[in-house]
Amino acid sequence: MNIKIIPAIDVVDGKCVRLSQGDYARSRVYSDSPLDVAMRFEDSGADLLHLVDLDGAKSDAPVNLKVLESIASRTSLKVEFGGGIKSSEAVSSAFSAGAFRLICGSVACSRSELFISWLGKYGGDRLVLGADIRDGLVAVKGWKEKSGATVQDLLEKFIPEGLRTTIVTDISRDGMLGGPAVELYRALLGEFPDVEVIASGGVGSMADIEALDAAGVPAVVVGKAIYEGKITLLSC
C-alpha cells in the first residue's frame, strides 16, 4: 500500500479522548497522558502525529498547548496541530510550542482573508485546511455550527493562494468505525488533483485503509480504530 497512516490524539482537559460523531457528550477517555500515547505511536514507527485540541476548537484560542509542547519536545514526531487556531497570535503560539504544521478550519470559513495572509506568510507546507463535513457543509467551532460553505468552495478559494493539503472529515462517520467516505475522497481527488486530500473519519479496519488506498488517497488519519485494536500497524 502507498497510503500513509497518521495516528490521532484528541485532547480534552489534558487527556486523550475520542468522540463519536463529533459529540462532546459522547467522549471516551483512553489515557490521562497524551504524551505516553504519542510515545507509543513513535515506538510503533509513526513519524507524523495528528493532534487536536478539542477544548481549543470550542474556544477562541488553543487551550492545550502544553500537551503539544510536551509531545514536540520529548518525541521525534512531527505534530500537525489543530483546535483554536483563529488568530495570528494562536498561530505564533502553536508554532512556538513545536507544531510542525497547523490545521485551520473555522478561521478559513469566517475570516478567509486572514487565512490567505497566513498562507502567504508561512506557506502551504505549514498550514492545512481542516474541512469537517456535516450534511455536505463545513462545520465550525468544534463541529458545533455549520458554515454555508462546501469543501469544494474552500478548495477553489484557497488552492490559488498556495494551499497544498486538506484534511477532510465526514463527521457522521467519525468515531463510528463504520467505514470512511471513500467516494467523497475519490471525487475530491479527481476534481482537485493538485491538492493532497487526507481522509479522516470512519476507519474501522484494514479493509477500509485498503479501500482508501485503492481510491488514490495519499494519507488517512486514524484514531479510534487504533485504540480499539481494529488496526494493529500502530500498537497503542
The pLDDT tens digits for 130-188 are 999 988 889 886 556 666 789 999 999 999 999 999 999 988 877 778 899 999 999 99
H or E segment to which residue 20 belongs = strand 15-20
Quote the pTM value: 0.92
pLDDT at 235: 37
For 4-227, CATH gives 3.20.20.70
pLDDT at 143: 57
Catalytic, 153? Answer: no
CB 32 within 8 A of CB 76: no
Grid cell 488496526 is found at 231
Catalytic, 55? Answer: no
pLDDT at 233: 53
pLDDT at 141: 67
Exactly one of 132, 170, 174, 208 is catalytic; which is it? Answer: 132
Helix (H, G, I), strand (E, B) or coil at 35: helix
Provide CB contacts within 8 A for 116, sequence distance 6+. Answer: 158, 161
The cell numbers describing 73, all together, are 519536545
pLDDT at 236: 36
Provide CB contacts within 8 A for 70, sequence distance 6+. Answer: 34, 35
Low-confidence stretches of the chain (pLDDT < 70) are 22, 141-147, 233-236
DSSP per-residue letters across 38-81: HHHHHHTT--EEEEEEHHHHHSSS-S-HHHHHHHHHHS--EEEE
